[in-house]
Chains A and B, each alone.
Chain A
Amino acid sequence: SAVISQKPSRDICQRGTSLTIQCQVDSQVTMMFWYRQQPGQSLTLIATANQGSEATYESGFVIDKFPISRPNLTFSTLTVSNMSPEDSSIYLCSVEGGNTEAFFGQGTRLTVV
């Protein structure tokens, strides 16, 4: 299994500002995933981040709003840009295990006011 650390664990931000979420994994992984969990909803995949290449975004998510960095095989960041109250969600970082399951960080609970 992988141990994933996410920072910050929670934040309250003003609308129009940006927040960068960090994800650190205790082992090298090829792909890292970013999910959004809106209040009372399930997890929705935002994008897949490979080291050394542009992230691949799912339908409905764009790089200008959610820029992602993947500088090495153990670290990634997700930025939520120009935030509005609709961006209030839990953001989760994830990596894949060897047997197809996914491992998740603790999540970042974002409230935009």
Chain B
Amino acid sequence: AQSVTQLGSHVSVSEGALVLLRCNYSSSVPPYLFWYVQYPNQGLQLLLKYTTGATLVKGINGFEAEFKKSETSFHLTKPSAHMSDAAEYFCAVRDGSGYSTLTFGKGTMLLVSP
């Protein structure tokens, strides 16, 4: 079975500071990994994904994440936070060996202060 752990239900940063949202996963086979963002009163939007190939993946809005197999991690980063980044972020995993459902982490609310 696959699972996702997101460390910290809330992360607070100042505008311009580094954003780091942590995600660890477990999967019995090579995973597909995703980060989604949910703005208030909206659905989920895909930020970025890792399937195969380069382990550092870049997404929209300046976010990137690095797949580290040895650490079973897929942390999300952004060098400089903007007020508009305030939202909830979900890490998700899918079994990459064939069809499987997405398993989501509990989410991390990013708060950005001026």
Contacts and interface: CB of A to CB of B under 8 A. Distances in A.
Contacts of B41: 109
A43 B104 contact: yes
A100 B51 contact: yes
A109 B40 CA distance: 11
A105 B36 CA distance: 13
Interface residues of A, number: 20
Contacts of B96: 100
Interface in B31-51: 32, 34, 36, 41-46, 49, 51
Q: How large is the interface on B (under 10, 10 to 19, 20 to 34, 35 or more residues)?
A: 20 to 34
Interface string A53-83: 0000010000000000000000000000000
Contacts of A105: 43
| Residue of B36, B92, B101 contacting most chain A CB atoms (<10 Å) | B101
Contacts of B32: 100
Contact of A106 (B42, B46, B90, B106): B42
Nearest to B32: A100
Contacts of B42: 106-107
A109 B36 CA distance: 19
Contacts of A42: 90, 104-107
B59 to A, nearest CB: 11
Interface of B: 32, 34, 36, 41-46, 49, 51, 90, 92, 94, 96, 101-102, 104-107
Given A43-B90, A100-B49, 11 more contacts: A4-B43, A33-B101, A42-B104, A42-B107, A45-B102, A99-B49, A99-B51, A102-B46, A107-B42, A107-B43, A109-B41
